[in-house]
Structure 1
Amino acid sequence: MLVDLNSGQELMERDADRRFVPASITKVMTLFVAFELIDEGKLSPTNIYTVRPETFKEWHNKGSRMFLPHDARVSVDELLIGIAAVSANDGSIVLAEGAAGSVDNWLDLMNAKARELGMQSSHFGTPNGWMDEGRTYTTARDLVILARAIVTRHPYKYARYFGRNGFVYNGIAQDNHDPMIGSVEGADGMKTGFTNEAGYGFLGTAVRGGRRLVMVVAASDTHQRRKQAAYQLIEWGFSRFETRPLFAAGSTVGMAEVQNGMESGVPLVAPANINATFPVGGLQRDVKLTIHYEGPLQAPVRQGERIAELEIEVAGLPPSRVPLVTAVAVEKAGVWQRFVNGIRGIFT
């Protein structure tokens, strides 16, 4: 799957709703949960956790790791770098146990965040994606939702922890296995995954000229084919499509009808810049815009309330939707004002 995050439009998808085993791509959700907890004041990068003997025994030699020593005291900041840069299985478990008290508690947080984001076809049974007989699964569409959330809600943390060439910890230098970093212009991270159960997968992103594409490749049979597919897909997206502005943040897109309010309607505005993606050379008139909302709205209506969506249809591409919010508040009308509105409605 390939999506332009600036417009939300799908540029390509094949079996995007088919469930698959994500392997270490799971760690993107672990990192997202950590970023959310930091913003909520429940976790700090300076927190120090001690590696439990049981954790060391199980994970010190299992898959990709940051080689945490027995009884090591390690900061959350180091754990996040290890997880993002070198796919640390051991670091993921230490973070889960330290931040949530147990792996099970951490999994509850992961699955709650998945539901909150609308990842309807995903479930997490492990913080690091280690094989668990299929209890952990996701889809390409859900991973794009997760990628959008992590880069838009946490741009500074994303820039700090993702996109590194590698990581040195405990005197051991390791490279990042991301197939695009260093070889694709604008590539700045996300996560690879591999197990015998899952094959080779990749959630990746790149940004050029302020335009960000997110892609998912799953179940490749070799890491070379995964790399080739990732490279071809992202370059195709940047070379064959372009993004153009439709509405600036704060500009009025349309109106929504309001019933029993001091006003009969409320302006709908763009909470952020709204763009559309076109095939290169495509015409601006090849776009159809439709506002959707459950109406008429019932007063009172709050300012900034997300009550509508703008559907963007570009010829040759699937439609996408972006949110619209109310520009002002509309208070509930009294009896006289409702009478005036009724008379006004007859003539308008």
Structure 2
Amino acid sequence: MLRSLLAICLLILAPAGAARAQDSAYTTDATHAVILDFETGQILFSKNGDEPMPPASMSKLMTVYMAFEAIRDGRLSLDDELPVSEEAWRRGGAATGGSTMFLEPNTRARVGDLLRGIIVQSGNDACIVIAEGLEGTESNFADAMTERAHQLGLTSANFENATGWPHPDHEISAADLARLAALIIEEFPELYEIYSETDFTYNGIRQFNRNPLLGVVEGADGLKTGHTEESGYGLVGSAERDGTRRVTVFNGMESGRARADEAERIMRAAFTEFEIVELVQAGEVLGQADVFMGTASVVDLRAGEALTVGVHRRERADLTAEIVFEGPLRAPVLEGDPVGQLVVTFPGGRTETVPVEAAESVPGKGMAGRAVSALVHLIRGN
């Protein structure tokens, strides 16, 4: 039996067993969406966020990450010049009708310009030049992208090219795109500033950053749009206000105008409608459990670690919690012994868990005590 003590610290958890099948307090027309808190890494909102999706040009974040990492490691510099191959021009140049930096074949381009060609202009040709410069071929680079993504914990990622060009196996989840964006911001703060540049001119052609957040939403400074017929219109965005940064990802909008509107709405909601809440502190006593054959009949249960979650402000009162374990516990019980889990359930069904452990030791009874307990147990028919 568990004697719940979850009303601690004005805890916002409702009694175990309360209704759980509620709709989320926040909705979006996007097919996939995630809001991530940069400091904690907490997912504040998710709609199909862990489901792999075609990311279109948003996958260029990984191309840029690979280039940034090469610069940091000394394998590449902003002033290096890379050759523009016929292949890069043919599959990414102006004649393709896709996003391009307007590179000319059989010329050379500075890495600093190529990065702006990718980030500001979304140039497919610039992506292929970077890919060939680092790994010889775009195919080799795509394999390296996937391998590095998995090393970073972005397990949903599978890249078939450096550009985001449609391919049935080219995919990544919105949640992993958000984590990738956070890695870029955290690991390369000086290079990240390129993402806030609103225009770039190359080969006499001026192009503007397509990110609809820049100059519209306070604190917005990145990252990348994406669009193909298969994926719809999407965006990875980030903004910082008063020391708080949020990353938003969504995909599947029907038009560029719908993307711009949803980008602004989701980013504003990320700051005004969601919050980070510490539900449980590490070592906090959560309840008690009965102990069989122990010198004490009950033992306190405590949280094995802290639990901090992101939650919509209107959902706080609708969270539910229960400690799940098999009981009664059998003595001897040692302090720190794992007992079970505290399961916190959010409206919509998402759950977060924390390990629960014994807060103190309970030795087993002596021979006489065990005999009496066994007799009582038998009489009660348990």
The reply on whether 1:137 has 2:176 as its aligned counterpart is: no
Task: Judge conservation of contact 2:35–2:249 (CA < 8 Å) in 1.
Answer: yes
TM-score by length of 1: 0.71
For the residue of structure 2 that corresponds to 1:162, the secondary structure is helix
Compared with structure 1, are the counterparts of its residues 279 and 168 closer, same or farther at alpha carbon in structure 2 (3 Å cutoff)? same
Could you say which residue in structure 2 is the equivalent of 1:222? 255
Q: Single out whichever of 237-246 and 9-18 deviates more from structure 2.
A: 237-246
Task: Judge conservation of contact 2:52–2:156 (CA < 8 Å) in 1.
Answer: yes
Task: Judge conservation of contact 1:164–1:176 (CA < 8 Å) in 2.
Answer: yes
Q: Single out whichever of 161-170 and 11-20 deviates more from structure 2.
A: 11-20
Distance 1:312 1:181 in 2: 40
Choose from 166, 177, 180 the match for 2:210.
177
Q: Single out whichever of 85-94 and 274-283 deviates more from structure 2.
A: 274-283
Choose from 124, 129, 149 the match for 2:159.
124
Instruction: Give deviations 1:271-304, integer Å, cap 9, x for gaps.
Output: xxx9865666999xx999x9xxxxx99xxxxxxx
Distance 1:6 1:320 in 2: 18
Greater than 6 Å deviation, 4+ residue runs: 311-317, 319-322
For the residue of structure 1 that corresponds to 2:158, the secondary structure is coil
Task: Judge conservation of contact 2:160–2:169 (CA < 8 Å) in 1.
Answer: yes
**1:57, distance to aligned residue in structure 2 (A):** 2.9
Which of the two has higher C-alpha Rg?
A: 2
For the residue of structure 2 that corresponds to 1:138, the secondary structure is coil
**1:10, distance to aligned residue in structure 2 (A):** 2.1
Could you say which residue in structure 2 is the equivalent of 1:195? 228
Could you say which residue in structure 2 is the equivalent of 1:58? 91
Say which structure, 1 or 2, has more relative contact order (CA 8 Å, 6+ apart): 2
Compared with structure 1, are the counterparts of its residues 245 and 74 closer, same or farther at alpha carbon in structure 2 (3 Å cutoff)? farther
The reply on whether 1:155 has 2:189 as its aligned counterpart is: yes
Choose from 24, 43, 66 the match for 2:57.
24
Instruction: Give deviations 1:62-81, integer Å, cap 9, x for gaps.
Output: 21111112222111111111
Task: Judge conservation of contact 1:6–1:243 (CA < 8 Å) in 2.
Answer: no
**1:53, distance to aligned residue in structure 2 (A):** 2.5
Query: RMSD of the alignment, in Å?
Result: 3.5
The reply on whether 1:231 has 2:264 as its aligned counterpart is: yes
Could you say which residue in structure 2 is the equivalent of 1:82? 117
**1:243, distance to aligned residue in structure 2 (A):** 5.0
Question: Which residue identity lines up with residue 33 of structure 1 in the other structure?
Answer: M
Could you say which residue in structure 1 is the equivalent of 2:4? none
Task: Judge conservation of contact 2:36–2:44 (CA < 8 Å) in 1.
Answer: yes
The reply on whether 1:99 has 2:149 as its aligned counterpart is: no
Distance 1:163 1:314 in 2: 38
**1:2, distance to aligned residue in structure 2 (A):** 0.9
Could you say which residue in structure 2 is the equivalent of 1:260? none
Compared with structure 1, are the counterparts of its residues 123 and 78 closer, same or farther at alpha carbon in structure 2 (3 Å cutoff)? same
For the residue of structure 2 that corresponds to 1:205, the secondary structure is strand
Question: Which residue identity lines up with residue 119 of structure 1 in the other structure?
Answer: L
Task: Judge conservation of contact 1:24–1:128 (CA < 8 Å) in 2.
Answer: yes
Distance 1:287 1:8 in 2: 22
Choose from 179, 199, 209 the match for 1:166.
199
Distance 1:127 1:41 in 2: 21
Unaligned runs of 5+ in 1: 247-251, 255-267, 291-295, 298-310, 323-345
For the residue of structure 2 that corresponds to 1:49, the secondary structure is strand
Distance 2:117 2:344 in 1: 41
The reply on whether 1:43 has 2:64 as its aligned counterpart is: no
Question: Which residue identity lines up with residue 227 of structure 1 in the other structure?
Answer: A
Distance 2:195 2:164 in 1: 18
Could you say which residue in structure 2 is the equivalent of 1:308? none
For the residue of structure 2 that corresponds to 1:66, the secondary structure is coil
Task: Judge conservation of contact 1:186–1:207 (CA < 8 Å) in 2.
Answer: yes
For the residue of structure 2 that corresponds to 1:13, the secondary structure is strand
The reply on whether 1:114 has 2:149 as its aligned counterpart is: yes
Could you say which residue in structure 2 is the equivalent of 1:210? 243
**1:123, distance to aligned residue in structure 2 (A):** 0.5
Q: Percent identity between the aligned chains?
A: 35
